[in-house]
Structure 1
């Protein structure tokens, strides 16, 4: 079984390296559907997995000047308290383990479908926003919208471990359409580090992290991400996005039915 976990970590890492989509969209459904891991343990373990893997990405993007720290601050002002409150809510209702597990399963499916929408329409959204500058919010309204978006993402990520990647990046495209793709990626990864870390600590407190499983996943994911990043430019981005969107749609349907 440990070999299967390492191979799965490699496969997810490879896809993340190829597409840039957060591993939670892939790892959490994989653990739930393929290995029969309970939804709560799958979410907790994936959050610890994400917090470990995103640290290196943040350092790399910071070195290249791709992180807008004022945006990170506003996202965290909403996301971090939301993650804590969501963890306390899960703890309070933890006695209804089966019902909570089912809710988390549906939350994962919904988050996966939001990721699919983000994959398909993110570029079009950015083009539309840049073509209609009058529709862009500014000043205090932009700050408030960023904090509220952070709160929504914090709740979503803590419940399902999905949302900090593709969904977060799509929100940044809508709120800050003038950012370059590299700046969107860097800022998205930077705010996700404290969010996934706090959410992971919450799940550790809840007892829903499998540390042995986490080690096996990390062992496979590091070479997978490296290889995917190296060969990404040889495969058309459109082909990758369509393939990934199809796979994620199938996963979401299987999670519900």
Structure 2
């Protein structure tokens, strides 16, 4: 990539990092649509590069949460039991579809664009309805699953998330956190965040290596995004208490809806 374009990607990484730090919304929900819509990066490359980006950043986040003892490793194990095999199967299917040679506008490119759009809209749903769902669960004990049923539901739910993440790079963050809230309402917010980040590391790593084998990871782009995002997340985290969360989530939901519509047009 030319140097001036690198600067633009660094700035994009900084902007996405700020938003992730401010709102807690997963970077994939922001980064992949940004690369595809604003910069015209092929959907396959945007997904593969963002998965590598997520594996690195979530790995760093897991170390912090491990030190703070805010990871429920039993739930991480169940989530990985569903998501990692599902990711491997999805990668095998993508290999069969010859994704390496899929150009812009090809059937597989259109399919991935639609997948990204659907995952973005699921993220918007989480942004809008998260508080109401949490309150409903807290006030409706009968809605909470028994231990055995909850274990099975965890594996199945995260298997679906594993497929979504591998195809679109979106879902490990906001959607994964929402599933954890619904299945484990007794967990503290810090444990939800730590567990959500920790399970996503094996998933995004496996998916990223799969996309690397497909030739859909752009390492120049990856490096530029990392340079911008690391200080962005740090600054955003410090500023998060100074900016009204409801306002931020409203702006983010509106923006993501517009991006999702643009992706499929």
TM over 0.5: yes
Q: Return the match for 2:48 from 44, 50, 54.
A: 44
1:150 aligns with 2:158: yes
Q: Where do residues 1-257 of structure 1 align in structure 2 (5 Å cutoff)?
A: 1-94=5-98, 97=102, 98-257=106-265
Give, in whole Å, the separation in 1 of the partners of 2:250 and 2:68. 29
Poorly superposed stretches of 4+, deviation over 4 Å: none
1:139 Cα deviation from its structure 2 partner = 1.6
For the residue of structure 2 that corresponds to 1:233, the secondary structure is coil
Aligned length: 257
Give, in whole Å, the separation in 1 of the partners of 2:254 and 2:151. 35
1:53 Cα deviation from its structure 2 partner = 0.4
| Structure 2 unmatched ranges of 5 or more | none
Give, in whole Å, the separation in 2 of the partners of 1:99 and 1:86. 17
1:36 Cα deviation from its structure 2 partner = 0.7
1:66 Cα deviation from its structure 2 partner = 1.0
For the residue of structure 2 that corresponds to 1:234, the secondary structure is coil
Q: State the superposition RMSD in angstroms.
A: 0.9
1:191 Cα deviation from its structure 2 partner = 0.2
TM normalised by structure 2 equals: 0.95
| Structure 1 unmatched ranges of 5 or more | none
